[in-house]
Amino acid sequence: MVPWVLKDFRSPRRQRPVYQQGWNRKGLLSETGQRKQAFDVLAEHYRELEARQAQAEQARPPDRAHAVAVRVQRAAHLAHEAASSLLVA
């Protein structure tokens, strides 16, 4: 999203004197900085999107490099246990 869309701005081409009064009023913030109703709708959408992405990251299986590292660590642990059992016997 581009920043100029977020706030109402002056636009001499806006010729509807009753409600535009020379302003482009499509922003989420008024010309005085007050939040419009659409601001809360979009904020909620982004909160839900962020929550879904976090949930997807938790559900995603670990990447291949991590899986390989876990296997190497486990193999090293098993080798250490095997060597320890030979020394005890």
Each residue's pLDDT tens digit, 55-64: 887 877 767 8
Q: Which residues of the chain have pLDDT under 70?
A: 1-4, 14, 62, 84-89
CB of 23 within 8 A of CB of 32? no
- CA torsion 22-28-34-39 (nearest 10°) is 160
Predicted pLDDT of residue 89: 47
Task: Output the six-digit token pair for 70.
Answer: 């876990």
Using a 10 angstrom Cβ sphere, with 0-12 exposed, 13-18 middle and 19 or more buried, the burial of residue 8 is: buried
**C-alpha torsion sign, points 66, 70, 76, 79:** negative
Look up the pTM and report it: 0.52
Predicted pLDDT of residue 77: 80
Predicted pLDDT of residue 50: 92
Predicted pLDDT of residue 76: 85
